[in-house]
Structure 1
Amino acid sequence: MRALVSGGTGKLGAAIAARLRAEGWQVVAAGSAAGDLRSAAGARSLVEHALAELGGLDLLVNAAAGGFVPRPFESVSEAEFDDAFGATAKGSFFVTQAAAPHLRSSRGVVVMIEDVAAYQPWPSFAAHCAAKAAQAMLTRVLARALAPEVRVVGVAPGPVAVEHGQEERRARETVLGRVGAADDVAGAVVFLAGASFVTGASLVVDGGRLLQTTSVADA
């Protein structure tokens, strides 16, 4: 079993890669140094690197993202907007496009690491919300485009792997009253990788944040 994890050196990506390895997968965990996912050429280069190391591909995890910086809507620059959409939406699209022939051959799986920001309006993270919403739509569009050979699913984390000192505030955002861990997301990826009758759907791993009727915080 061979997996490529884009964004594999970040908090979530590294946890996903470690969990997959523990489950017996061969994994290429690729950070930004392995290819600039803001371009189609960079996405192709990343996939080529993974194929050279793994010899094939059974699972692609699109965990790369950018632009998660609080900013008033009026102050968002074009560069910041492009940064948010770059690796998150554009990267997910073109990495999947480059990997698609190999995933078709193996009847593989694509997992998009989305965000509850795709489903909630956070004014201070407008570009991030829009990029994650685009990525979440790709989960559904690509599930149709690549069927029946390839399944495409999503995982939408809430407050997991939060910054030190933010645990109490972020815990109040959930109905469970606690924050999650990066391994909670990794466990969802492993589950979906083996859930052979699931495609075009997203698993929300947020401790019930989306159930909150009022917003405790902007993010």
Structure 2
Amino acid sequence: LFSLLQEHQDNVMGGTMQSAIALLNNLVAHKDTNLQLLYKEGLVDHISSVFIETTALLLESEDKCSITNGGTPLLSLLDILQSMLRHTSTVVRLALQAQKSDAGGDTQTAEDLLLINKPLTDLISLLIQLLPNDDPEVYEGVIQCLSLLVQLYGGGDNPECMSPENIHSFAETLTSHQDPKQQKLLLQIIKRLVSNCRQMDHLSPVL
């Protein structure tokens, strides 16, 4: 499956790629799937690469609606990202709960999982650029992935998360999405990213 993704990475619009992504989505979402095996096969790198290719096409296209409405595997990719991040979040939460209750939780597994998935933070800026989207499914997938990423990692090691371009994207989204719950989630994401940027600015002279 991963070899198919690699072979057809230059043609994310093709049927073979979309079928492979859909299959991988079902696999990752299945409760009995051993994600550790997929991680060992390079799940994070493969998904990141295909996501970058797909979003590049989308962001360069003048007709974004037609691309998001089934023209690319974007929704399936967002589902895969969300499944990976939710799994990580659950493992981390359970480990923290076990620590607090003195049950001696398996923190090593949680730490390893956080480390394995950390390269996904490189997708934060791309996700922010996808926020101003008329497709509610795409928007929901994007904001959920962003929320999980910033909860787990802040903004990662990327100081560009609050670049002028990304700030404009946030502003546009806040203007177009008036639902209080959506705005609250957006503001929480922005707050975490701003806090992360400030921490990085504070550390940069030391580094």
TM superposition score normalised by structure 1 = 0.34
- Could you say which structure has the higher strand fraction? 1
- Could you say which structure has the higher helix fraction? 2
TM superposition score normalised by structure 2 = 0.36
RCO greater where, 1 or 2, for CA within 8 Å and sep 6 or more?
A: 1
